[in-house]
Amino acid sequence: MIRGAAAITGAASGIGRALAIELAQRGADLALADRDEGGLKSLAAEIGAQRKVSLHRVDVGEASDIAQFAREAIAAHPALNILVNNAGVALLGQFEEIDQAQMDWLFDINFWGVVHGTRAFLPHLKTRGEAHIVNVSSIFGIIAPPGQSAYAAAKFAVRGFSESVRHELAAAGSPVRLSVVHPGGVATNIARASRTGIGVTDNARRGQMIDRFETAARTTPKEAALRIIRGIERNEPRILIGNDARFMDILQRFRPGTYWAPLQRRLEKMARGK
């Protein structure tokens, strides 16, 4: 059962938005963070007066923004006991097409945002009788396709960081539990809002990369949110979202060094059948 209040980054759209709505319906108050203030206000209006909701403009790529968010969220919601580090961005292109500044930008949001969020909220969460941290990785934190070197590196890092911290919390007998989430294809706007490597000059190729993302997006944000909530309630250490994520997880277990060739054939078949 969901109790208390939840802080969610990347809450204005996609999985974060759907999760906010579902948690509110289950009785949670909400501290919602995003750079998109218009999206946050729209979400708050949709939730209505059923729950206490605070809105926070936050760039998770800035550690100071996250620290301020934690202070304000805890002040507004003293019973806060759930943190969802969900905010993320995408960067399309081969490794040699991406410059270091672009890779740093992605890591600041997708990895360091998770680390800074965990660090900022953990002291408070440890004071609660029960608390839960949810760190959103990706299926690309389990497999690493070509053209996703920066994104996969960050999402693998989120996975490793989260698993280690979870083991530390358990060993200390902490009331804080931690789940790492690995969504497969979810129908959000992350691909269309993505940046492209500075070396990618072919707009048609960029369109093909986005289409490949969207072809694989078979899960709705609501379905993803419901799966995450079930994972919180069951204290699942790893939450896989979608049949595609479950398939890819199994494939890499059986073929850890050679999974890409059969997976590429499957993805190409899916694209032809779109």
| Model confidence at 201: pLDDT above 90 | no
Q: Are strands 176-183 and 238-241 parallel, antiparallel or unpaired?
A: parallel
Amino acid at 44: A
Backbone angles phi, psi at 76, to 5 degrees: -75, -30
Please report the pLDDT score of residue 196 as a whole number: 79
User: Contact 80/69 with Cβ under 8 angstroms?
Assistant: no
Q: Are 58 and 120 in contact (CB under 8 A)?
A: no
How many CB atoms are located within 10 Å of the residue 220 CB? Answer: 15
SS3 167: helix
Q: pLDDT tens digits, residue range 214-258?
A: 445 578 999 999 999 999 999 999 999 999 999 999 999 999 999
Q: For residue 210, what pLDDT is reported?
A: 45
Give residue 265's pLDDT band: very low, low, confident or very high (50, 70, 90): confident
> Alpha-carbon distance 235 to 224, whole Å?
16
Q: Which CATH class is domain 5-245?
A: alpha beta
> Over the stretch 1-18, which tens digit does the pLDDT of each residue have?
678 999 999 999 999 999
CA 118/CA 178 separation, integer angstroms: 10
First to last CA, the chain: 39
The pLDDT, as a whole number, for residue 205 is 46
Q: Give the span between the Cα atoms of 196 and 198, in whole angstroms.
A: 6
Please determine, for residue 271, whether its predicted confidence score (pLDDT) is greater than 70.
no
259 is catalytic: no
Strand partners, 182: 240
| pLDDT tens-digit map of 41-64 | 999 999 998 899 999 999 999 999
Residue type, 228: I
Of the residues 107, 151, 161, 213, which is catalytic?
A: 151
- State residue 217's pLDDT score: 56
State residue 152's pLDDT score. 96
Q: What is the pLDDT of residues 105-157, one digit of tens each?
A: 999 999 999 999 999 999 999 999 999 999 999 999 999 999 999 999 999 99
Q: Where are the domains of the chain?
A: 5-245
How confident is the prediction for the chain on average, in pLDDT?
90
Residue 193 — very low, low, confident or very high, per pLDDT cuts 50/70/90?
A: low
**pLDDT tier, 268 (very low <50, low <70, confident <90, very high otherwise):** confident
Question: What CA dihedral angle connects 223, 228, 231 and 233, to 10 degrees?
Answer: -100
Model-level pTM? 0.91
Q: From edge to edge, which strands make up the β-sheet containing 238-241?
A: 53-57, 29-34, 5-9, 80-85, 131-136, 176-183, 238-241
